[in-house]
Chain A
């Protein structure tokens, strides 16, 4: 079964840290770039970060640059999002997703189930 299963998240105070994990199965994980996307009622879907298939290329949104770190372990079929110096505006549901450039046979658009992060004192 093609899936991404997320873990981590929860309630944390401003300035603290949290790590999200996203484990893959059912598709060639090491061939796919992975994105993190977050969603809030007020801002909708917002792209956060991407890591290339081999981990050599990484990009962040301006909102999280310098505070969040994306990484992956292809031997464990897992991608991570380390979130430091969290702010109240980081409160959101976080999704990991493949969002491949192309489609068709063998192109898997897969999304995790989402994990809630609440930053509050």
Chain B
């Protein structure tokens, strides 16, 4: 199974400042069709997860443009350009290239300093 490793696991941030979360996979996430199926999910306190980013860098509908994804191969990053209070929660990366199983990172808890 593909192991997804996130860092840091806890990220205190200042409102209005940028924040970045790293995600590494134990093998390349490039699929045979040339696409890379790496997703990012946000889980706000008390809510279900929701997807922010699919295929490394594509934002889902309704996702603010302060969220961006980047990376390739085995190294990926989620960046929040200017953190807002509503961004508090846990962020997960998930690979959908080598399935089954679909595998998630451990989660990164973003909180306001």
Binding site for B on A (CB under 8 A): 35, 37, 44-47, 50, 59-62, 95, 97, 99-105, 107, 109, 111-114
Interface assignment of B67: CB less than 8 Å from any CB of chain A = no
User: Per a CB cutoff under 8 Å, which of B48, B102, B106 touches A113?
Assistant: B48
Closest to A35 in B: B102
Least CB distance, B36 to chain A, in whole angstroms: 12
CB contacts (< 8 Å) of B102 on chain A: these are: 35, 47, 50, 99
Stretch at the interface among B18-26, B50-58, B81-89: B50-58
On whether the beta carbons of A47 and B51 are closer than 8 Å, the reply is no
Range, interface on chain B: 20 to 34
Binding site for A on B (CB under 8 A): 37, 39, 41, 48-51, 54-55, 58-61, 92, 94, 96, 99-107
On whether the beta carbons of B49 and A103 are closer than 8 Å, the reply is no
**Knowing A44-B106, A45-B107, A47-B104 touch, does A105 contact B61 (C-beta < 8 A)?**
yes
On whether the beta carbons of A45 and B100 are closer than 8 Å, the reply is no
**Knowing A103-B61, A104-B61 touch, does A46 contact B104 (C-beta < 8 A)?**
yes
On whether the beta carbons of B104 and A109 are closer than 8 Å, the reply is no
On whether the beta carbons of A61 and B48 are closer than 8 Å, the reply is no
Most buried by B among A37, A99, A101, A103: A103
On whether the beta carbons of A109 and B103 are closer than 8 Å, the reply is no
Least CB distance, A4 to chain B, in whole angstroms: 9
Closest to A62 in B: B101
Q: How far is the CA of A104 from the CA of B51 in the complex (A)?
A: 12
CB contacts (< 8 Å) of B99 on chain A: these are: 59
Interchain residue pairs A-B with the least CB separation, the first 7: A111-B48, A59-B100, A109-B51, A47-B102, A45-B104, A103-B54, A103-B60
Least CB distance, B24 to chain A, in whole angstroms: 16
